[in-house]
Amino acid sequence: MIAKNLREKSDLNFLKGEALLIDKPLNWSSFKVVHELRKIIGVKKIGHAGTLDPRATGLLILCTGKMTKSIDNYQGMPKVYEGEFMLGKRTKTMDTESEPFEEKPTDHLTEEMLVNATKKFTGKILQIPPMYSAVNHQGSKLYQLAKKGVHVERKPREIEITEFTLTEINLPIVKFRIACTKGTYIRVIAEDYGLELGCGAYLHSLRRTQIGEYKVDDAFTMIEFKEKFAYLRQLHNGD
C-alpha cells in the first residue's frame, strides 16, 4: 500500500499494479481523482474502491494494473465517517447540493433526545438508497433520472451501523462519527435522523476517515502525491 508514511522503495510498478491512499479534495468527484492520477502516473488501468460524493472529503483507496482485481476486497471493508448534520432543515438531495425546502425549530431538542434518536440507527437496519445516487436503474443512474424529475421506487438494503456517536452538539449543528458497512448512505442517515427527531436534517459536511485498517491520516493529498511521485519515479528508474 502506497501511503504517506511509505518507506523509500525502488520497485514500484503502477503498470503491473499498486494500491494507494488518497485524501479526496472538497468538490472533486471520485472520477476526477482517477482522471488526474491517470495523467500523473501515466497508467490507464486505475480505479477507486468506493466512491465519495463531490461535497465529501477523505479517504479513497485506488488500485492500478492487476491490483484492480482487489478493488472488491477493499470495497467490502467497513468505513468510518465524521461530519455534521444540519438540523431543522431538509433538502431534496439530503446534503448541501440543493437548497433547503423545509424549516422547523430545533431549540426544543435536548441532548437526551438527540442521543436517544441515534439508537434507532445502530445495528442492522434497512436503508433505501437515495434518488440522487449512482445506483443503476435500467441502464441509467438514479441521479440522472432524478434531475429529469423521474422518481423510481427503490428496494431497501440491509446495512449495519456499528457506531453512531454525537461528538459535539451546537444546535442546529451536531457533529457525528459513524462506523458502518459497505453501501451505507450517510445522507440517508441524516434525512432519517431528522425525521425521527421531527425537525428534519441534512448532511452539512462529511469526511471519510477510515476504510478497514487504512486511515486518512496516512493518505496523500493530490498535491503531495504529485510531488512524491516525481521522486518515486526516480527511484523506480534508478536515477
The answer, yes or no, to whether residue 165 has pLDDT greater than 80, is yes
Q: Are residues 173 and 133 in the same domain?
A: yes
User: Mind listing the pLDDT tens digit for each residue in 27-37?
Assistant: 999 999 999 99
Amino acid in the structure at residue 202: Y
Pairwise CA distance, residues 100 & 86, whole Å? 10
Q: Are residues 193 and 129 in the same domain?
A: yes
Q: Are residues 114 and 55 in the same domain?
A: no
Q: Cell digits for 30? A: 471520485
Of the CA atoms within 13 Å of residue 126, those in its CB half-sphere come to 4
Pairwise CA distance, residues 214 & 74, whole Å? 10
Pairwise CA distance, residues 84 & 151, whole Å? 28
> What is the number of other CB atoms lying within 10 angstroms of the CB of residue 32?
14
Poorest-pLDDT segment among 134-143, 152-161, 179-188: 134-143
In this structure, are residues 29 and 12 in contact, taking their beta carbons and an 8 Å threshold? no
Domain for residue 164, yes or no? yes
Pairwise CA distance, residues 185 & 223, whole Å? 28
Q: Cell digits for 144? A: 440522472
- Average pLDDT of the chain is 90
Pairwise CA distance, residues 69 & 47, whole Å? 10
Q: Cell digits for 23? A: 485524501
Task: Count how many domains the chain has.
Answer: 2
Gyration radius of the chain over CA positions? 20
Q: Which of 196, 203, 184, 209 is nearest to 119 (CA)?
A: 196
Q: Are residues 140 and 65 in the same domain?
A: no
Pairwise CA distance, residues 79 & 136, whole Å? 22
Q: Are residues 99 and 164 in the same domain?
A: yes
Q: Are residues 121 and 197 in the same domain?
A: yes
Predicted TM-score (pTM) of this structure? 0.91
CATH number, residue 47:
3.30.2350.10
Give the pLDDT score at 229: 82
Q: Are residues 104 and 26 in the same domain?
A: no
Q: Are residues 49 and 90 in the same domain?
A: no
Pairwise CA distance, residues 56 & 121, whole Å? 21
How far is C-alpha 126 from the chain's CA centre?
19
Q: Are residues 180 and 65 in the same domain?
A: no
Average pLDDT estimate for 5-28:
82
Determine how β-strand 173-180 pairs with β-strand 201-211: unpaired
Pairwise CA distance, residues 230 & 189, whole Å? 41
Give the pLDDT score at 140: 72
**Domain enclosing residue 164, as ranges:** 79-211
User: Mind listing the pLDDT tens digit for each residue in 49-59?
Assistant: 988 999 999 99
Residues that are catalytic: 53
The 3-state DSSP class for residue 68 equals helix
DSSP 8-state code for residue 121: G
Q: Are residues 134 and 144 in the same domain?
A: yes
